[in-house]
Structure 1
């Protein structure tokens, strides 16, 4: 007889057999997240919850889970979880750091290059039968090699993006928390946020979503950027004000943008942003290499099983619960 009850809020690319040896496992089968009321009801009778960024795990839900022993998130970020509430209940919260660093950095570069060289526009033009001959002035894009790259947030992913930029002989600026050792090893220069906006040909966001970074990119920020600049966001959608971005792209305050994350998410099909030729939007697939997602699922399951067994989580957001 299984010792624990577990609810997983989405189907995972992983073998659940080890978990099923110790727990009765229910997996939400739909593509859309389980409704909050249903998740609330499930939480009343489970020992472990494996959730995603799209699940709201607030104080009310956590306090409802009277037998809840562990929360395991399939993501690096955890702004959808009330960490303070979980800590107050001595419930460890797990996440899946590091494993998606390279996959996300690769994808940030894919978006940067696609926007710079207008790859998506070229594909649309070709499919529409508008490619007539070679022309010297069609779909002229931005040069990447030797340009200035501004990185907002030099964490693990930001550092990985900087290493890739070295191969393009770029001048690399960054803002956020200053790190002198990284400045030497990565050959990057710390500058204030406003200077980064003024000087960068490309700006890529790799900061967490906090009260300080919410709508960091609004009208004021876009007004300080080069009119030829390209913005890339693979971090969190709410760091960019979508209305301000629409104004910047339509008024020519910046040249183009590429987003893997939006506010709200998913982006509404009626959003005016989706009418713009100089914007690329992808459905939050920055970490979506097969190997990366499989590893993330394995890490999330490992965190879950450790928490059920009363062991320390391999990757714990709130290690103070063990003090």
Structure 2
């Protein structure tokens, strides 16, 4: 029977579906695979379900001329932790789970926008610390999102879902920057440059894939272009933002605030960010809803089933 390894425990429903088709092993730890574990996974299993943090680099694939593993059915839409070209050169297919994560990730973007603009994290800390002295007219004054301009960096599935929520839900004006113009079902102005977008918006939301092309896309120059009241929201990948430059911008008051679900060196979060009141920090929960994680896992299983049935997986990278 085909042997499959899940590198982290996935929801029970997903494990049951995988066991119906495969000889399944579930690694009990929640930490990323070590180098030795990755090599063992490739040599001992026919298929592997990796996820964020399992760094299948070119060096990993190059350790052997041929591997038993034939497919990496990634659990997640982002796959920048896998060197796809090196995998394919080793005869290993790679799939992902697009679509399942779109709405959940967009919802967290709006959560961060609201929390950051309305200073919700700061307010909750005040209450929990027993320091709230009661309502008064000028307490914790934040920014109202209605009627403001949101800038979306990367207008793919997730970027469009965020933009729809902003336009239809909050009456926000939408602007965006992407590699090519998009045909959209809502009004949106495309900006030719990222700097032009950053300068024109009240909230800048990052919804681009991870990888070399977007590494430090948001640097000191982009942050300098933003308005002093503007907020930066990142639900993409942590290294899309140059974290040191963001800390400087926040510390010096050059932007109004930030809402982060991802970090450049996860799970490490700089103490400087933790100490700032004008930053909302979430522990990478963009897709953390049971039904969403089940959908993602079942999509990974379907990719495996199709592949081992001799068919093209529905989500081949």
User: TM-score w.r.t. structure 1 length?
Assistant: 0.92
Aligned: 1:120 with 2:121: yes
Provide the alpha-carbon RMSD of the alignment: 1.5
Matches for 1:78-157 after TM superposition, within 5 Å? 78-157=79-158
Q: CA deviation at 1:18?
A: 4.1
1:81-118 CA distance string (max 9 Å, x none): 11112222332211000111111111100110010101
Matches for 1:289-300 after TM superposition, within 5 Å? 289-300=289-300
Q: CA deviation at 1:290?
A: 1.4
SS state at 1:280 partner: strand
Q: How many residues were matched structurally? A: 312
Aligned: 1:8 with 2:6: yes
Aligned: 1:162 with 2:163: yes
SS state at 2:44 partner: coil
Aligned: 1:301 with 2:301: yes
The 3 A distance-change label for structure 1 pair 7 and 249 is same
How many angstroms apart in 2 are the aligned matches of 1:84 and 1:246?
A: 34
Q: CA deviation at 1:162?
A: 0.9
2:73 and 2:94 in contact (8 A); partners too: yes
Q: CA deviation at 1:212?
A: 3.3
Q: CA deviation at 1:284?
A: 0.9
The 3 A distance-change label for structure 1 pair 16 and 210 is closer
Matches for 1:148-227 after TM superposition, within 5 Å? 148-166=149-167, 167-182=169-184, 185-191=185-191, 192-227=193-228
2:52 and 2:76 in contact (8 A); partners too: yes
1:61-82 CA distance string (max 9 Å, x none): 3354622111100010111111
2:256 and 2:278 in contact (8 A); partners too: yes
Q: CA deviation at 1:21?
A: 4.1
Gaps of 5+ in 1: 318-323
How many angstroms apart in 1 are the aligned matches of 2:219 and 2:120?
A: 26
Tell me the residue number matched to 1:273.
273
Q: CA deviation at 1:186?
A: 1.5
How many angstroms apart in 2 are the aligned matches of 1:208 and 1:314?
A: 20
Q: CA deviation at 1:17?
A: 3.5
1:254-298 CA distance string (max 9 Å, x none): 010010010101124x53211111111111111111111110011
The 3 A distance-change label for structure 1 pair 288 and 180 is closer
How many angstroms apart in 1 are the aligned matches of 2:306 and 2:60?
A: 22
Tell me the residue number matched to 2:31.
32
How many angstroms apart in 1 are the aligned matches of 2:232 and 2:183?
A: 27
The 3 A distance-change label for structure 1 pair 136 and 48 is same
The 3 A distance-change label for structure 1 pair 38 and 91 is closer
The 3 A distance-change label for structure 1 pair 54 and 300 is same
How many angstroms apart in 1 are the aligned matches of 2:253 and 2:20?
A: 58
How many angstroms apart in 1 are the aligned matches of 2:212 and 2:20?
A: 42
2:218 and 2:241 in contact (8 A); partners too: yes
How many angstroms apart in 1 are the aligned matches of 2:241 and 2:196?
A: 18
Q: CA deviation at 1:22?
A: 4.2
Q: Tell me whether 43-52 or 55-64 shows the greater mean CA deviation.
A: 55-64
The 3 A distance-change label for structure 1 pair 133 and 27 is same
User: TM-score w.r.t. structure 2 length?
Assistant: 0.94
1:69 and 1:307 in contact (8 A); partners too: no
